[in-house]
Amino acid sequence: MHYVCNYSENGPYWPATQGRYQAARLKELIMHVRVCMEDNDYQIGIFDENNECKGMWVDEAEAEPDGEGGMVLQKPCYVLYRPGDMSKGMWNLHLSKFKKPSSHG
């Protein structure tokens, strides 16, 4: 059993969006990843039954100037990372986004 987890920031006024979806077959795994990408999620991770991340896609699209002093968001540009593809610190920073946020009281 594998899990597809997603994470998206929603600006300063709304909490981040997170999800965790079971995928028993490759077809389900691909479907969940595709839905996350179509929803423009910032990060999408694949986790095994031991909660170990096997890889993640990160949207690395950057906003570009619109010529009028503002910025325009570009379409998502997902880059696949696997353990060892980036520094341990960056990997852990990205992994920390998949953890459930603490409740504010």
The number of beta carbons lying within 10 Å of the beta carbon of residue 28 is: 14
pLDDT in tens, 44-68: 999 999 999 999 999 999 888 888 8
Which amino acid, residue 58? V
* Mean pLDDT per 10-residue section of the chain, whose length is 105 residues: 92 89 95 95 94 94 88 90 92 86 44
Which amino acid, residue 94? H
**Taking Cα atoms as reference points, which of 53, 31, 62 lies closest to residue 98?**
53
pTM comes to: 0.82
